[in-house]
Structure formats: C-alpha cells, structure tokens
Amino acid sequence: MTLNDYQQKAMTTNAESSDNDTYSLFGLIAEVGELADKVAKGVRKDYLYIDGNDIHLRRNIADFSEGMKKELGDVLWFVAHFAQRFGWPLEEVAQMNLDKLADRAKRGVIIGEGDNR
C-alpha cells in the first residue's frame, strides 16, 4: 500500500459533516493528545517508562501496544484528511519532507532553528 492508496481509502470513511478544515485541524491535535494520553496512562499503570528521550514498554502488553498503534493510526488519518482538504497527495507531502531533511543534512543544518534553514 502506498501513502496515496492509504489516503484514498481512508477518505472513503470521511463523513460529510467532518469534511471541513477546522474539524481536520482540531481532530489532528486531539488525536496527538490521545496518543500522549496513552503514554501518560502507560506510565501511571507502569506499562511503560520514559528514560531520557526514550519511551520503553516495560512488559510485552499486546493490548496496550495495540492501543498506542491505533492512536497513531488515528493521527495518520487526520494527517491524510488535512492534506486532502488542501488537495495535497500524501506522498507529495512525505517526499517534500524527505527532500527538506536531505537538504538540511547535506548542508549540515539538521540541528538548528528556523523552518527555512
């Protein structure tokens, strides 16, 4: 499956009442929050722990891991939706991002500040 295939299939589940820019943006933010909430609850329940910048599953808890994946999938749906709202194929967005990062790496400015470095 390509990213564009995903986007096309995912958008078949888009309800007419959800097809607007504010739903798309706030939905994306909400789903990122749900993913963060999973991590917070995982720490609270001792399913995972945070070591520096790394999040580790403490045990192999399949349901919990699947729950995190589902939330990440919800984030992906809204990324695809937001791109669709602006007529951007998801692969174009992904390629643009890779090109930007490759250019930064080539110029030695991966670590730095500013969107247009």
Residues of this chain that interact with Mg ion (CB under 5 A) are 34, 71, 74
Residue closest to Mg ion when measured from CB atoms: 74
- Residue whose CB is less far from Mg ion, 9 or 100: 9
Nearest distance from residue 29's CB to Mg ion, in Å? Answer: 12
- Beta carbons of 28 and 79 less than 8 angstroms apart: yes
- Residue whose CB is less far from Mg ion, 43 or 72: 72
Nearest distance from residue 38's CB to Mg ion, in Å? Answer: 9
Nearest distance from residue 74's CB to Mg ion, in Å? Answer: 4
- Residue whose CB is less far from Mg ion, 67 or 89: 67
Residue in this structure with the two tokens 């939706």, named with its chain if needed: 81
